[in-house]
Amino acid sequence: MNAKADNFAIQIRFATKDDAPAIASVLHDSFIEYESLYTPEAFAATTPTSDQVRNRLGEGPAWVVTSNGAIVGTVSVVDRAAELYIRGMAVLPSARGLGIGELLLRVIETFASRHGKNRLVLSTTPFLARAIRLYENAGFRASGEGPDDLLGTPLITMIRILE
């Protein structure tokens, strides 16, 4: 998928194992401003190392967003029977506000539909208000389903039923 936002030529593609260092960097740089709100263990889980990212790529597909050749965003999913669990969604602060999050969610929805999935599930922290607004605008709703905690950091689980 290709899009253009101001001076950013945006492309979305499947991630490869060679992208692992850049994905780890994007995750770290996207969440570092919130580090003090996480427990150290939860921050480490949210910002995996390159090796951990490589391992995650074996658990389900991931996508990267490139702008002018550099990775500026990412997301991955894990197949759970009739649903996809969305994790590791991040956009660099310098690329926020360009609609990248919405594009990534559309890519996931298309992927889910093509693979017969009828539910999307994600967990986020209550202090990521901008992300929560993005998810709500995309049709996700808070659920009483867990998990409600990531290694001592509170979580909100959100669900979207696909038509």
Position of tokens 């996931």? 108
Q: Which of 72, 28, 71, 76 is nearest to 56 (CA)?
A: 76
pLDDT on residue 8:
59
Q: Is the pTM of this model over 0.75?
A: yes
CB 106 within 8 A of CB 160: no
H-assigned helices in 14-141: 20-31, 40-46, 50-57, 100-114, 129-137
As given in the structure block, the two tokens for residue 22 are 């850049």
pLDDT on residue 92:
97
Strands 119-124 and 83-91, bridge-based pairing: parallel
Kindly give the interhelix angle for 20-31 and 50-57, rounded to the nearest 10 degrees: 110
CB 144 within 8 A of CB 156: no
Rounded Cα gap, residues 96 and 125, in angstroms: 18
pLDDT digits (tens, 9 = 90+) for 103-122: 999 999 999 999 999 999 99
The residue-averaged pLDDT of 63-82 equals 95
Domain ranges (residues) in the chain: 2-161
What is the third-level CATH fold of 2-161? Aminopeptidase (3.40.630)
pLDDT on residue 16:
97
